[in-house]
Amino acid sequence: MNDKAVYQQCTISVMDNIADPDISFDEKGISNYYYEFQRAFKESVLTGKEGEDKLAAIAHEIKEAGKDKPYDCIMGLSGGVDSTYVAYVAKKLGLRPLAVHFDNGWNSELAVKNIENIVSRLGFDLETYVINWEEFKDLQMAYLKASVVDIEAITDHAIFATLYRMAGQRGIQYILSGTNVQTENTLPKTWIHPKTDHVNIKSIHKAYGTVPLKTFPFMDAKVKRYYQQVKGVRSVSVLNYVDYNKNAVKETIQKELGWRDYGGKHYESIWTRFYQGYILPAKFKIDKRKAHLSDLIFAGQITKEEALAELQQPMYNEEQFKSDYDFVLKKFGFTEQEFNALMQQPPRSHYDFDYEMPIDKRYPVLKPFKKIYRAIFPPK
């Protein structure tokens, strides 16, 4: 934000023009994020009896598609609130998911314990995908050196790719997703990059990486064309069809599944805790709590006053930060001077590197064939 610009905060939420210089306000001081949330909620969320009926119909489709198979769906299980509740809802619906945990080398001990409790109490099979650490470390370090904001994109990308590949290979048509409007709709575009952009990942790694990515699971053409469009694997955001109140959900999973709280959204990962609690605010001047708390305000789950009080609390426990800081630097093999030098580099855009575009835009000569392709392989 320009130093001379006047500070403005949304009259409803805690999003402001420091968090997002591109934010807009109407004559009442209400930000664009409020209206975007309302639109997304209206388009995607069903609650009460309507939501129950929709979820029951989806569950019926999943069961029919999974007849005579070991599993009728697949789901990612991180041990966080959202994925844990997806597992709980799946059990209530009588579904038979294969739970897949993606281990990128940054699990907290509490996350491991939570996952063990979840699958044990629900009776689900668990398969853990352990990524090649040397490849993944090199990729994370490349992102740090590139000075781009969405370092977490590579984990999300690999999780999506892994789930689609495993589903396609096993003949499973449905992926249960924990994405939801109620708690995850608000995110400025400058904070993130499209999670499925394998071109951008390869371009950043080509510029700064040193270890060949021989096993990293990419959301490449095989996933996006074959598994999604030919084999019909689709993702279902089941939490958009339940009355998803964050505090009530935490109470439920604590009582029913022995789940323990991490103290922050996605803090089941040591790296995510360090990234959101230190790297984002220190290097990029981003406090993701503003977006998460604003969604809860929009959803009527907390008040603005409660959100403002939460923002007054330290983002990172001092003792926990010191422990995580030492752990992260040791795991990467950075000296403190090397890491501080990376933190001092000015931020760069993901679009400074190559990125994925629709094939007809990347290769205009193919544009006339797009309609033919869509006719053969319509979007699911």
Domains parsed from the chain with CATH numbers? 1-44+302-315 (no CATH), 45-285+317-352 (3.40.50)
Mean pLDDT (the chain) is: 92
Least confident range from 1-5, 193-197, 277-281, 338-342: namely 1-5
Are the CB atoms for 311 and 14 separated by under 8 Å?
Answer: yes
Least confident range from 2-6, 19-23, 235-239, 304-308: namely 2-6
pLDDT of residue 145: 98
Q: Taking residues 57-80, what's their average pLDDT?
A: 96
Q: What is the DSSP string of 55-91?
A: HHHHHHHHHHHTTTSS-SEEEE--SSHHHHHHHHHHH
236 vs 24, 91, 241, 251, CA distance in Å? 31, 15, 10, 24
Q: Taking residues 92-107, what's their average pLDDT?
A: 96
Cα separation, 24 vs 352, in Å, equals 25
Q: Taking residues 196-207, what's their average pLDDT?
A: 97
* Residue 374 pLDDT level (bands cut at 50, 70, 90): low
State percent of the chain over pLDDT 90: 84
Q: What type of residue sits at position 303? A: T
Q: Taking residues 222-240, what's their average pLDDT?
A: 90
Q: Taking residues 236-246, what's their average pLDDT?
A: 96
State percent of the chain over pLDDT 70: 92
243 vs 49, 51, 89, 120, 367, CA distance in Å? 10, 8, 11, 25, 43
Cα separation, 140 vs 334, in Å, equals 12
pLDDT of residue 372: 56
Q: Taking residues 34-59, what's their average pLDDT?
A: 97
pLDDT of residue 358: 64
Q: Taking residues 241-256, what's their average pLDDT?
A: 95
Is the pLDDT at 133 greater than 60? The verdict is yes
Residue with tokens 């009355």: 243
Is the pLDDT at 170 greater than 50? The verdict is yes
pTM confidence score: 0.89
CA dihedral of residues 330, 335, 337, 342 (deg, nearest 10): -60
What does the DSSP 8-state code read for residue 179? Answer: -
* Residue 368 pLDDT level (bands cut at 50, 70, 90): low
pLDDT of residue 264: 56
Residue 104: how many other CB atoms lie within 10 Å: 21
Cα separation, 348 vs 74, in Å, equals 36
Torsional class of 375: left (φ above 0), alpha (ψ -120 to 50), beta (otherwise)? alpha
Q: Taking residues 116-138, what's their average pLDDT?
A: 97
Q: Taking residues 32-51, what's their average pLDDT?
A: 97
Phi and psi of 210, rounded to 5°?
-130, -20
What does the DSSP 8-state code read for residue 31? Answer: B
Residue 342: how many other CB atoms lie within 10 Å: 16
pLDDT of residue 266: 53
Find all residues with CB under 8 Å of 294, minimum gap 6, and list them: 10, 13, 14, 15, 33, 37, 186, 307
Is the pLDDT at 296 greater than 50? The verdict is yes
* Residue 366 pLDDT level (bands cut at 50, 70, 90): very low
Is the pLDDT at 132 greater than 90? The verdict is yes
Q: Taking residues 295-319, what's their average pLDDT?
A: 96
354 CA to centre of own chain: 22
Q: What are the E-state strand segments in 17-155? A: 73-76, 97-103, 125-130
pLDDT of residue 229: 86
